[in-house]
Amino acid sequence: MTIEATFKITKKDFILDVDFSIPSKGVTAIFGPSGCGKTTLLRAIAGLEPCRGAHLKVGDMTWQKGHYCVPTHKRSLAYVFQEASLFSHLTVKGNLQYAIKRVPLSNRKVSLERAIELLGIEPLLERRADQLSGGERQRVAIARALSVSPRILLMDEPLSALDLTRKREIMPYIESLHDELDIPVIYVSHSPDEVARLSDHLVLLEKGRVTAQGETGKMLTRLDLPLAHGDDAASLIHATVAEHDDEYNLTYLDFPGGRFTVARKSLPIGFSVRLRVVARDVSLTLAHQSGTSILNIFPSTIDDILSEGRSEKVVQLNVGGVTLLSRVTHKSASLLKLQKGQLVYAQIKSIALLSDKH
């Protein structure tokens, strides 16, 4: 199942001209700088942006083709807007009921109770929208979107209006949607961190055009794309919980390139996890170091090297088929005589466990 979209929309300050096909499962992130047309694209998918001659197919549903256009309220979708969009004349419960009342009984896959439970908004039900904090409002908005039992969930930077604390408060809820509900999500974002955490598939948008798309893990480490550059550059690694070490209180995580050692996590054996390794936290040595406190050291081959600014380089490594990025200085690169195809040891200082995904 895929989502196929062709749009050409002329706005005052830019033209959105896209033609792409993405998998209609998991989370697809649409990533790009402000003003690149991300929101316009999402609105077009929802039918909120008038456009002629567009083509849009979501799974087996054709929403737009030539002059044929299904109006927004007849598209089985839900939309979470950037800023809180709760109805101010209704309570939290009223907002949720507004959504669920309009779903035919036979299509109700997500019950009101389930949505309330997933987003943890039970204590807020009787309150009005203006009595909620920004984070609470966005949680209610997500719960309301889920109560529609949509065939696709569209999210337009749902975290961008929130401070870091609120973001951390909501992130786990969004992550859990992935596992709990089998609803494809299109997630618009300009935050590399959110993209790495939440998405499986990534579409890069620049000046109204799709510049690249693919699996998020691969896209993050492609040196020809902007995500592999900058201070946030990181690699995504999928691993499974292999065993726990009771003596040192550690957990071992297996991935195709070897075995990670991390502080103990209370996760069952065989559980799939997603790890994020920041390029700055990966250093290189020519020989396997023994006198070091670093536990995560993997033999790897250099696939590519690119200069990053005047003093640093990004090194793309291959660790048993998994791509890893490393940031080193020009000086280190020339001292170690780094070159493509060379065998080096990647020492990983820290690993972030992102989420518990399959």
Partner 1 sequence: MLNESDILALIVTLKLAGLTTLILLLLGTPLAWWLSRTKWRFKFILEGVIALPLVLPPTVLGFYLLILLGPKGPLGDLMASLGIHSLAFTFSGLVIGSVFYSMPFVIQPLQNAFTAIGRRPMEVAATLGASPLDRFFTVALPLARPGFITAAVLGFAHTVGEFGVVLMIGGNIPGETQVLSIAIYDHVESLQYTQAHWLSGGLLLLSFIMLMSVYAINGQFKVGRNDH
CB 302 within 8 A of CB 223: no
Kindly identify the residues of this chain, within the stretch 199-218, that bind partner 1 according to CB under 8 A.
Answer: none
Kindly identify the residues of this chain, within the stretch 92-151, that bind partner 1 according to CB under 8 A.
Answer: 98-99, 102-103, 144-145, 148
Which is nearer to partner 1, 181 or 239 (by Cβ)? 181
SS3 category, 351: coil
Which is nearer to partner 1, 109 or 209 (by Cβ)? 109
Least separation in angstroms between residue 184's CB and partner 1 is: 16
Q: Is the dihedral of CA 132, 134, 137, 143 positive or negative?
A: negative
- Quick one: CA torsion of 156, 325, 216, 229, rounded to 10 degrees? 40
| 77 is an interface residue for partner 1 by CB under 8 A | yes
Kindly identify the residues of this chain, within the stretch 6-65, that bind partner 1 according to CB under 8 A.
Answer: 46-48
| 85 is an interface residue for partner 1 by CB under 8 A | yes
What's the rounded Cα separation, in Å, for the pair 236 and 157? Answer: 21
How many residues lie near partner 1 (CB under 8 A)?
22
Only segment of 13-21, 78-86, 212-220, 323-331 that touches partner 1 (CB under 8 A): 78-86
Q: DSSP 3-state helix, strand, coil percentages of the chain (rounded to 5)?
A: 25, 40, 35
SS3 category, 293: coil
Least separation in angstroms between residue 57's CB and partner 1 is: 19
Which is nearer to partner 1, 145 or 354 (by Cβ)? 145
Least separation in angstroms between residue 3's CB and partner 1 is: 17
SS3 category, 117: helix
Which is nearer to partner 1, 152 or 328 (by Cβ)? 152
Return the amino acid letter for 304: D
DSSP-assigned states of every residue in 171-213: HHHHHHHHHH----EEEEES-HHHHHHH-SEEEEEETTEEEEE
Least separation in angstroms between residue 86's CB and partner 1 is: 8
Interface residues with partner 1 (CB under 8 A) are 46-48, 71-74, 77-79, 81, 85, 87-89, 98-99, 102-103, 144-145, 148
